[in-house]
Chains A and B, each alone.
Chain A
Amino acid sequence: MAGRELVEAVLAGRPGAFERLVREYQGLCWHIIVRLVRNPEDARELCQDTFLRVHRCLHQYRHESTLQTWIGRVAYSIALRHLERRRIPIATSEDEEGCAAALNIGSDFDLEAACADGQTVRHLHQAIEALPPLQRMLLTLYYLEELPIPEIAGITGLASGTIKSHLFRSRLRLRDALEAKIGVAV
């Protein structure tokens, strides 16, 4: 069911329509919120708050953006407010610092062997968890949700260039973490 029809069905109070809407977009909201706030219990509660607000305010949706972007924006603002209340910075000042791209990297890297190596993958997961909330969320939207940069910009209100810069830096940082793990001099 297309976004417009789904919205009309929910606003008309058709049985099951809102549940369908939640099921359709719960994955996106979960990825936005859990990557920002980290704590799964808080994230579940905030996800519920997101959809309750969507239910209350759906009549205000004017189809100026996709329904996905609109709901994602609600989830993002709710998670952001949660972080502000807890005084957790969404991005750190070191994000703004430039990262020097590694010029020399070893050529002996077996992708399949590294994937099979649980320790390396675990190390990467830890490095991802250690990223600032914003970068963690942007990577998840880009890689897991496969959202294009303009769509992420619509959700977060950030400029596409800023998102690109965050993606670039965080991937560089993760690659550095990987180099440190596999012991190749950078």
Chain B
Amino acid sequence: MNDTDEREWQAQEHALQAERLDLDSRGADARVRRYRLLARTLRQPLRDTLPEDFAARVAARAAAPPTLMASASDRFESILLAVLAGFLVMFAGVVLARDGQAWLPAIRATLPAADLQDLRWLLAFAGCLGLSWVLWQGAWRRPAV
């Protein structure tokens, strides 16, 4: 901030303080008086407000058990996810069985020191990680009782 901006900032802040303390505006700098009008306008309550019973309604809604529709929707989502995951695993198995012979040697070739035995262990390890992640996600998503 240069000196001019700093003076402007001080005028803005001075006007805000003067409005908060309801000080007499006579004798104040013209710039500060303008900012006081601005402060007075900004401190006016907003025209639109929340309804009177907002807190009571939200509290009632938060306390209510999940609606039939919501729990049905959650159940549908879980079933859909499980079906999709099942399809994914099934197709992965089919593709691996059909084209795996073509891929495995190529993958093996990229790992100079690894033989087929190592690769199987690597795949088993990756599978364990994937399964653990899926189970952990399931546990985390389950609502607390």
Q: Are A124 and B38 in contact (CB under 8 A)?
A: yes
Q: Is B62 an interface residue (CB 8 A)?
A: yes
Q: Are B34 and A175 in contact (CB under 8 A)?
A: yes
Q: Are A143 and B61 in contact (CB under 8 A)?
A: no
Residues A15-71 near B (CB distance < 8 A): 16, 18-20, 22-23, 26, 30-31, 34, 40, 43-44, 47-48, 51-52, 55
A52 to B58 alpha-carbon distance, docked (Å): 7
Q: Is A128 an interface residue (CB 8 A)?
A: yes
Q: Is A144 an interface residue (CB 8 A)?
A: yes
The smallest C-beta distance from A138 to any residue of chain B, in angstroms, reads: 11
Q: Are B8 and A178 in contact (CB under 8 A)?
A: no
Please classify the interface of chain A as helix (H, G, I), strand (E, B), loop, or mixed, using the class held by over half of its residues.
helix
A16 to B59 alpha-carbon distance, docked (Å): 8
Q: Is B41 an interface residue (CB 8 A)?
A: yes
State whether A48 and B16 are in contact (beta carbons under 8 Å apart), knowing that A23-B55, A114-B37, A139-B42 are contacts in the complex.
Answer: no
Residues B28-85 near A (CB distance < 8 A): 28, 30-31, 33-43, 45-46, 48-51, 54-59, 61-63
Q: Are A115 and B59 in contact (CB under 8 A)?
A: no
Q: Is B132 an interface residue (CB 8 A)?
A: no
Q: Are B38 and A101 in contact (CB under 8 A)?
A: no
Q: How many A-B residue pairs have CB under 8 A?
A: 104
Choose one: B1, B43, B49; the contact of A143 (CB below 8 Å).
B43
A179 to B31 alpha-carbon distance, docked (Å): 11
State whether A171 and B41 are in contact (beta carbons under 8 Å apart), knowing that A47-B50, A106-B30, A109-B30 are contacts in the complex.
Answer: no
Q: Is A107 an interface residue (CB 8 A)?
A: yes
Q: Are A172 and B8 in contact (CB under 8 A)?
A: yes
Residues A131-151 near B (CB distance < 8 A): 139-140, 142-144, 146
Q: Are B38 and A48 in contact (CB under 8 A)?
A: no
Please give, as numbers and ranges, the residues of chain A lying within 8 Å of B42 by CB-CB distance. Answer: 128, 139-140, 143-144
Chain A interface (Cβ < 8 Å from any Cβ of B): 16, 18-20, 22-23, 26, 30-31, 34, 40, 43-44, 47-48, 51-52, 55, 101, 103, 105-109, 111-112, 114-115, 120-121, 124-125, 128, 139-140, 142-144, 146, 164, 167-168, 171-172, 174-175, 178-179
